[in-house]
């Protein structure tokens, strides 16, 4: 996939590399994801990956920023559609659905999770905290959630992300695993599981 195309414009290639890096970093984490694996996934040489972004560190930073950017856009889109007479629960469900749709883009949420795990790092730590607070401010201020509602929303989101990162859908036969997933993901559960399965099937 993703290959057999000839030369691309710099911008197109850049986007392609970012997409590939999002997948690889999502699976293996920052240290575990090699520039070579990213290059192979994008169908180009390792040297070009490094040259286009200057360094692996820089590439990961852009991946993370692009991921939070997607999150912010998705949330703001939903919030813009609020009429003002929804219940809080309805608003939580609407935002949750937007979150669930991001799962379709494999790696976005997982790369963010890995970023969050690097809070001790002098470069990634501050970035992680700022990214997270950025999104929190949107949900808290722009969506008009209370502190409790926002905290519950993020808590559920984190659990869902981790279940996904763990590959828990692979164990949907286990009654406890299935129960946990359907309880935590709610109405989105089937959509998410289908999305994950689609991604898994088209992997080598």
Partner DNA sequence: AAGCGTAGTAATCAATTGATTACTCACTCC
Partner DNA sequence: GGAGTGAGTAATCAATTGATTACTACGCTT
Residue 157: CB minimum distance to DNA, A: 29
Residue 28: CB minimum distance to a second copy, A: 7
Alpha-carbon distance values, 106 to 112, 164, 173 (Å): 11, 10, 23
From the list a second copy, DNA, none, partner contacted by residue 3 (C-beta under 5 to 8 A by kind): none
Comparison of 94 and 165: residue with beta carbon closer to a second copy: 165
Comparison of 53 and 145: residue with beta carbon closer to a second copy: 145
Q: How far apart are CA 87 and CA 93, in angstroms?
A: 10
Residue 4 as a binder of DNA (CB under 7 A): the answer is no
Residue 167: CB minimum distance to a second copy, A: 4
From the list a second copy, DNA, none, partner contacted by residue 201 (C-beta under 5 to 8 A by kind): none
Binds DNA by CB under 7 A, chosen from 4, 7, 85, 122? 7
Stretch near DNA under the rule CB under 7 A, chosen from 53-61, 70-78, 112-120, 137-145: 53-61
Tell me which residues touch a second copy (CB under 8 A). 27-32, 110, 113-114, 116-120, 125, 128-129, 132-133, 136-137, 140, 147-148, 150-152, 154-156, 158-159, 162, 164-168, 170-171, 174, 176-177, 179-180, 183-184
- Residue 57 and residue 122 in contact, taking contact as beta carbons nearer than 8 Å: no
3-state SS track over the chain: CCCCCCCCCHHHHHHHHHHHHHHHHHHHHHHHCCHHHHHHHHCCCHHHHHHHHCCHHHHHHHHHHHHHHHHHHHHHHHHHCCCCCCCHHHHHHHHHHHHHHHCCCCCHHHHHHHHHCCCCCCCHHHHHHHHHHHHHHHHHHHCCCCHHHHHHHHHHHHHHHHHHHHCHHHHCCCHHHHHHHHHHHHHHHHHHHHHHHHHHHCCC
Comparison of 12 and 141: residue with beta carbon closer to DNA: 12
From the list DNA, a second copy, none, partner contacted by residue 176 (C-beta under 5 to 8 A by kind): a second copy
Task: Considering only residues 112 through 141, tell me which ones interact with DNA, judged by CB under 7 A.
Answer: none
């Amino acid at each position: 996939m993703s290959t057999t195309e000839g030369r691309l414009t710099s911008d197109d290639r850049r986007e392609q590399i970012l997409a590939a890096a999002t997948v690889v970093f999502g699976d293996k984490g920052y240290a575990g994801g090699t520039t070579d694996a990213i290059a192979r996934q994008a169908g180009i040489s390792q040297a070009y990956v490094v040259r286009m972004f200057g360094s692996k560190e820089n590439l990961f930073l852009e991946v993370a920023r692009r991921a939070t950017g997607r999150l912010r856009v998705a949330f703001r889109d939903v919030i813009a559609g609020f009429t003002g007479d929804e219940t809080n629960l309805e608003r939580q469900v609407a935002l949750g659905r937007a979150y669930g749709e991001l799962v379709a883009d494999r790696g976005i949420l997982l790369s963010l999770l890995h970023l969050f795990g690097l809070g001790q790092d002098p470069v990634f730590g501050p970035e992680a905290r700022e990214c997270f607070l950025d999104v929190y401010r949107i949900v808290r201020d722009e969506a008009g959630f209370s502190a409790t509602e926002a905290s519950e929303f993020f808590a559920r989101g984190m659990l869902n992300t981790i279940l996904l990162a763990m590959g828990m859908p692979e164990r949907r036969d286990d009654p406890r695993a299935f129960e946990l997933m359907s309880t935590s993901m709610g109405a989105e559960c089937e959509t998410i599981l289908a999305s994950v399965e689609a991604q898994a099937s088209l992997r080598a």
